[in-house]
């Protein structure tokens, strides 16, 4: 009976166990709020999540044509794998391409091709003698070790670039040899960035590699400011190989420059190809080939003419008005000349503060010094006139005669009356000196203007050495 009673309760007990198991399973599958928020924070939807789902990870790893995982070094050629271009398995990034010139039936010297798409000359600094250029800098070289799949459709279809070219990420330069270049006289080299660095690599079907990037380059220029502000300067931008001499590497270049995109500077600018004498650089380590551009710029002169030359010219002319003023009007004539003299000195000091360093007296300094000299000469001329006009009276009697008259009581009145009858005698101004005083202002009035006009003619002819046809003044 006992055994029969246990068998009757066994199905009921089994059902209770099964229900309890189901409840525990459902409880374990429910996420608490903290756990749910943690899972959501690591989901791929969250942009700050560092956890990458397995499916996404598998998509980012390169695969072979049969679906297997490929090597991350995708630049090397692999058997039975389609490619547009690739590198041989024995490719050595440290070896120069010209050591394999036999592969393309080419001899030394190797050639680099440069292209400069110049946006503008952004700054010319006289104080530091530097010039800044914004451009797209491109260099091309032949890599004979490249393996090219000429039947690939990417060469004929302009999907990733022009025909017979494919665009690549600049990251491939980690695996490919590229030239080491030097920009002569380089001050700063800045790469332009927006979201990423503005650069790219193009592989051409003829095994040429082109690397291009947007840069802002500042180079030093040897400037001569002896003719400031009537000066014109030339500045060379030269680039070449850092290690290889002209016997191993040569170069060629061309540039594109749109003058309409140039911002207004204090100079008229013209860009031309690099002259032949600058295409070869002789350094202690050897002779190197160089390519680049030459920038010619002439300072705009209208601002200096209006602010410096014209006022100084007029002040000298105003100083000639003093020759027409009566010499006896000392305050008016002296005040006019001293004021003009001090104003010209002030202009000279302000110009010297802004002018760049020169090896001698520059053009504007010379003009101001001459103007100051003319005003100073008028001041000295008036000082001479005042010296000649100075009158000295001869006393009517000596000191002894005056004492005798003072202490004599009898005939003092009679002596005083006789003394008053004597004529007054003036000394120090003879008839000849009087004639000189009358005519010295007239001579200065006739001599000063022709001399100043002749100086201006010689000055402007001597400093108009820049060919005006080279720069179109617009």
| Per-residue model confidence as pLDDT tens digits over 444-471 | 999 999 999 999 999 999 988 654 444 5
Tokens in use for 462?
Answer: 């001597």
Q: What own/partner pairs with CB < 8 Å and gap ≥ 24 does 313-321 have? A: 313/371, 313/456, 315/340, 315/343, 315/344, 315/371, 315/375, 316/371, 316/374, 316/375, 316/452, 319/374, 319/375, 319/378, 320/378, 320/444, 320/445, 320/448, 320/449
The tokens describing 8, both together, are 């009757």
Q: Which pLDDT value is given to residue 473? A: 41
Closest by CA position to 166, among listed 204, 194, 135, 128: 204
Q: What is the model's pLDDT at position 232?
A: 93
Record the tokens describing residue 118, joined without a space: 């110049």
Instruction: Answer yes or no: are the C-beta atoms of 185 and 238 closer than 8 Å.
Output: yes
Residue range 371-408, pLDDT digits in tens = 999 999 999 999 998 888 775 445 555 666 666 666 66
229 cis-preceded (ω within 30 degrees of 0): yes
pLDDT digits (tens, 9 = 90+) for 9-30: 445 555 554 555 555 445 444 4
Reported as a single tens digit per residue, the pLDDT across 257-303 is 999 999 999 999 999 999 999 999 999 989 999 999 999 999 999 99
Mean pLDDT of the chain: 81
Pull the structure tokens for residue 110: 């190797």
Distance between CA atoms of 428 and 7, rounded to whole angstroms?
162
Element (H, E) at 13: helix 2-29
Q: Hey, CA dihedral for 31, 36, 40, 43, is it positive or negative?
A: negative
Q: CB-hemisphere CA count at 13 Å for 69? A: 7
Query: Is the pTM here over 0.75, yes or no?
Result: no
Q: In percent, how much of the chain has pLDDT > 70?
A: 73
For residues 124 and 114, is the Cβ–Cβ distance under 8 A? no
How confident is the model at residue 412, as a pLDDT? 53
d(CA 350, CA 111): 52
| Total count of residues recorded for the chain | 474
Please say if the pLDDT value at position 332 is more than 70.
yes
Amino acid 208: pLDDT: 94
Rounded Cα gap, residues 396 and 402, in angstroms: 9
Secondary structure class of 460 (helix, strand, coil): helix
Residue 126: which pLDDT band, with cuts at 50, 70 and 90?
A: very high
Backbone angles phi, psi at 246, to 5 degrees: -70, -15
Backbone angles phi, psi at 227, to 5 degrees: -105, 15
142-170: per-residue pLDDT in tens?
999 999 998 888 888 776 668 889 999 99
Sequence-ordered strand ranges (E) for 126-248: 130-142, 147-148, 165-168, 181-184, 186-191, 199-204, 208-220, 232-241
Q: Is the peptide bond before 436 cis (omega within 30 degrees of 0)?
A: no
Q: Is the per-residue pLDDT at 181 higher than 80?
A: yes
Q: Is pLDDT above 80 for 195? A: yes
Q: Which range among 78-82, 90-94, 153-157, 337-341 shows the weakest confidence by mean pLDDT?
A: 153-157
């Amino acid at each position: 009976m006992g055994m029969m009673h246990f068998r009757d309760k066994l199905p009921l007990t089994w059902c209770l166990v099964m229900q309890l198991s189901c409840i525990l399973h459902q409880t374990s599958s429910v996420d608490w709020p903290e756990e749910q928020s943690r899972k959501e924070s690591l989901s791929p939807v969250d942009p700050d999540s560092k956890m990458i789902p397995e499916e996404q990870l598998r998509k980012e790893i390169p695969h072979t044509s049969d679906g297997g995982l490929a090597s991350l070094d995708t630049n090397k050629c692999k058997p039975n794998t389609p490619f547009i271009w690739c590198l041989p398995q024995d490719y050595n990034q440290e070896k120069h391409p010209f050591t394999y010139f036999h592969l393309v039936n080419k001899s030394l010297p190797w050639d680099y091709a440069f292209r400069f798409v110049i946006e503008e000359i952004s700054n010319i600094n006289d104080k530091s003698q530097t010039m800044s250029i914004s451009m797209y800098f491109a260099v091309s070289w032949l890599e004979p070790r490249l393996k090219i799949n000429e039947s690939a459709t990417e060469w004929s279809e302009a999907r990733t670039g022009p025909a017979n070219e494919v665009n690549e990420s600049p990251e491939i330069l980690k695996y490919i040899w590229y030239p080491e270049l030097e920009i002569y006289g380089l001050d700063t080299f800045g790469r332009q960035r927006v979201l990423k660095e503005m650069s790219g690599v193009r592989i051409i079907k003829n095994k040429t590699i082109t690397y291009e990037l947007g840069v802002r380059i500042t180079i030093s220029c040897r400037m001569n400011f002896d003719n400031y502000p009537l000066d014109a300067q030339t500045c060379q931008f030269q680039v070449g190989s850092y290690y290889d001499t002209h016997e191993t590497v040569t170069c060629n270049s061309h540039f594109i420059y749109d003058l309409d995109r140039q911002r207004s500077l204090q100079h008229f600018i013209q860009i031309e190809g690099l002259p032949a004498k600058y295409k070869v650089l002789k350094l202690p380590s050897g002779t190197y080939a160089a390519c680049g551009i030459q920038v010619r710029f002439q300072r705009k002169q209208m601002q200096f003419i209006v602010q410096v030359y014209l006022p100084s010219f007029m002040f000298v002319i105003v100083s000639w008005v003093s020759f027409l003023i009566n010499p006896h009007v000392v305050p008016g004539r002296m005040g006019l000349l001293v004021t003009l003299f001090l104003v010209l000195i002030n202009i000279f000091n302000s110009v010297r503060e802004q002018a760049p360093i020169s090896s001698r007296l520059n053009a504007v300094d010379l003009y101001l010094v001459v103007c100051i000299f003319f005003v100073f000469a008028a001041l000295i001329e008036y000082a001479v006139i005042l010296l000649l006009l100075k009158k000295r009276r001869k006393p009517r009697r000596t000191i002894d005669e005056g004492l005798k008259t003072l202490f004599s009581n009898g005939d003092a009145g009679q002596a005083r009356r006789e003394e008053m009858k004597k004529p007054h005698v003036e000394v120090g101004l003879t008839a000849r000196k009087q004639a000189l005083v009358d005519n010295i202002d007239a001579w200065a009035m006739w001599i000063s203007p022709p001399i100043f006009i002749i100086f201006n003619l010689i000055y402007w002819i001597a400093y108009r050495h820049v060919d005006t046809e080279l720069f179109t003044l617009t």
